[in-house]
Structure 1
Amino acid sequence: MKAVQIMSFGTADVLRINDVDRPAPGVGEVLVSVEATSVNGHDVIVRTGELKMMSGRRFPIGTGLDFAGTVVATGTDVARFRAGDRVWGMVHPRRRHTVAAAAEYVVVSADRISHAPADLAAVDAAALVVAGSTALIALRDSVRLTSGERVLVRGAAGGVGTAAVQLAHAMGGHVTALARDRHAELLTDLGADEVLDYGTTTSDRIGPFDVIVDTVGSELHCYRSRLAKGGRMVTVGLSPSALAEIAASSLHGSRRIRTFSANPHTPVLRDLAVQVASGALRPVIDSVYPLADIAAAHRAFERGGVVGKHVVTVPRSSV
């Protein structure tokens, strides 16, 4: 089978599509024929070596976090899934994988997948797994958004941002989206009550907000200062400087900057499917690439300016 692998740390040029043996599911695992995956920040920082403490220095390293596809086989002790089930899910982000989701087949623990929404194409499903689950965990579990609260989504046009705007709106929040002015029409259509131009709006001229969802990971202290009394802030845009600001913010109690590593299991993916079925959440896709052009998808992600997600389709294989 074909699998995309990182052959050394570096630019997108280090990605190779290699022929590898098709894996077999073990106890509690399923084998999925992958139809689509997407490019996430995690993929890029593993490829560049920024996470070498986790990924190690042994090559090749698999790439790709999320996937949508069809169950081909199950290992023992798997009762919820059978061959032919359409599923979506995510490989474990903190483990080293020789083959990950950017491949014709992937083996994954059964507790990391759920049945995909019935009416959602694989390309659309792959665009929502990481982005949607991250936004859902941030709003529901981390800051516990309640109806009527004022919400700022920073980086609102990206994958997590577009999902956060939709979910915050569905949860009854008054949503302010911070993004480039050219994305205002889209974000309003997704549920934003107000769209502020990221290029001209400074943090000291907005707010206060009850909840801030940050996807950028810079100037966190400036935005934290825009929280109302009892406000909560969460960031999913992690960097060394962001980690320092998060640690320093612990002095502020409930108004500290929260963060988490999105690592959804079946219950979160089920809840995400409910949001899709209800019409509260839909995918936003910037562009679609075939697996053969995954390096181009990585380059496009790194250039920035993405609206929603870059999705990669995986051709069917009989291998």
Structure 2
Amino acid sequence: MSDMRAALFDRYGPPEVLYVGSVPVPAITPEQVLVRVHAASVNGGELAGRAGKLRLVTGRSFPQTCGVDFAGEVVEVGASVTGVREGDRVWGVQRLKTGSMAEYVAISPEKIGPAPQNLTLLEAISLLAGGTTSVTALRDHAAIKPGERLLIRGASGGVGSVAVQIGKLFGAHVVALAGAKNLDFVRGLGADEALDYRTTPLSRLGTFDVIVDTAGTQQSRFRSLLAPGGRMVAVTIDINRPLAGLATILASTLHGSRRIRFFSGNPDTALLTELTRYAENGDIVPVVDTVHPLDSIADAHRALEAGGVRGKHVIQIT
């Protein structure tokens, strides 16, 4: 193997800057494995990265690639690696700057786990980013308890659609905010209540023990809905006003008991294996909006930016 196909861009800009080009297949170190990627998904952070809104992270060196999550098959194992074999079906997360929208990725075995055996890899990838984010947000950062009221903003999207399912799995009363055309969809995922975010006044929502915010906007207003001791977990900030968003989160940690917690997920094998168990037990189900071929990566970015997504836009790599 010498070269592979990958989604690339040579400058920051709209989806049209994306193209499929040829780059070298990554050489693995003795501590890595090489995975042939079958599927990846489009995430909001990649849109911001491609548009140049994360330049402090992504830098000014081109070409750049995109993608963070992947599902595929191990094709080469480093000499120092144990517990992973060629032919294993795995899923995992790559760094944004390294990218996963390519035919192969080199990755540490600590960053992959066994993919669910009951799902195709195209189905499985729809659960990965949203699932690991939701488990970390609800269990580790919010310490949600059975019976608590949970509000999920952006409940039909890639993270929100899995957060609804994880919230129910953890025993919460789930209130989902989504667009009008997606209300039945999120109810089907297990939401106890589904409300149109455009027409439902905040005053009608009541109070919540936990809020998971996948939108990143109006965080101060939603923070006011927290009950005493309530916890709000922001899995994104307003990319168009990043400093204001960070200031809101910081202020919440200094004033009052209703705090906003922000985190950037970094899943490991243990978390990925746990998510696989949920999928294989039927506790969570795939949420695929559309499957796009790699050559249509720009269309997939354009579709996610347009909004109204139900679950994930998935990219079929090989």
Give the corresponding residue for 1:305. 308
Q: Secondary structure at the residue paired with 1:237?
A: coil
CA contact (8 A) 1:2 1:19 kept: yes
Give the corresponding residue for 1:57. 60
- What is the distance in 2 between the residues matched to 1:191 and 1:254? 30
CA contact (8 A) 1:92 1:263 kept: no
- What is the distance in 1 between the residues matched to 2:75 and 2:275? 23
Give the corresponding residue for 2:183. 184
Give the corresponding residue for 1:114. 113
Give the corresponding residue for 2:258. 255
Residue 75 (structure 2) pairs with residue 72 (structure 1):
yes
Aligned letter for 1:193?
A: D
Aligned letter for 2:33?
A: V
Following superposition, the deviation at residue 309 of structure 1 comes to 0.6
Following superposition, the deviation at residue 285 of structure 1 comes to 1.2
Give the corresponding residue for 1:156. 155
**Aligned counterpart for 1:41 among listed residues 33, 40, 44:** 44
CA contact (8 A) 1:72 1:83 kept: yes
Q: Secondary structure at the residue paired with 1:159?
A: coil
CA shift in 2, pair 1:254/1:141, >3 Å: farther
CA contact (8 A) 2:155 2:177 kept: yes
Give the corresponding residue for 1:274. 277
Give the corresponding residue for 2:245. 242
Give the corresponding residue for 2:129. 130
Aligned letter for 2:66?
A: T
Taking only the aligned residue pairs, the percentage that are identical comes to 48
Aligned letter for 1:75?
A: G
Give the corresponding residue for 1:195. 194
- What is the distance in 2 between the residues matched to 1:34 and 1:139? 29
Q: Secondary structure at the residue paired with 2:176?
A: strand
- What is the distance in 1 between the residues matched to 2:216 and 2:203? 17
Moved over 4 A (4+): none
CA contact (8 A) 1:204 1:222 kept: no
Residue 35 (structure 2) pairs with residue 32 (structure 1):
yes
Q: Secondary structure at the residue paired with 2:24?
A: coil
Deviations 1:220-276 (A, max 9, x none): 111111111111111112121321211121134541111100121111111111111
Q: RMSD over aligned Cα, in angstroms?
A: 1.2
CA contact (8 A) 1:157 1:179 kept: yes
Aligned letter for 1:41?
A: G
Give the corresponding residue for 1:7. 10
Deviates more, 1:286-295 or 1:24-33: 24-33
- What is the distance in 2 between the residues matched to 1:65 and 1:58? 18
Deviations 1:95-139 (A, max 9, x none): x32xx2101111111111001011110111111111111111111
Q: Secondary structure at the residue paired with 1:139?
A: helix
CA contact (8 A) 1:111 1:265 kept: yes
Structure 1 residues without counterparts, runs of 5 or longer: none
Deviations 1:280-310 (A, max 9, x none): 1112111110001011001111111111110
- What is the distance in 1 between the residues matched to 2:61 and 2:83? 35
Aligned letter for 2:172?
A: G
Aligned length: 311
CA contact (8 A) 2:234 2:260 kept: yes
CA contact (8 A) 2:228 2:257 kept: no
CA contact (8 A) 1:143 1:211 kept: yes
- What is the distance in 1 between the residues matched to 2:257 and 2:289? 36
Deviates more, 1:235-244 or 1:133-142: 235-244
Residue 288 (structure 2) pairs with residue 285 (structure 1):
yes
Normalising by structure 2, we get a TM-score of 0.95
Give the corresponding residue for 1:215. 214
CA contact (8 A) 1:212 1:233 kept: yes
Aligned letter for 1:178?
A: L
Residue 94 (structure 2) pairs with residue 91 (structure 1):
yes
Deviations 1:198-236 (A, max 9, x none): 111122221211111111011111111111111111111
Give the corresponding residue for 2:267. 264
Deviations 1:43-97 (A, max 9, x none): 111111111111111111121110100000011221021110000001024xx32
CA contact (8 A) 2:156 2:309 kept: yes
Aligned letter for 1:208?
A: T
- What is the distance in 1 between the residues matched to 2:200 and 2:252? 23
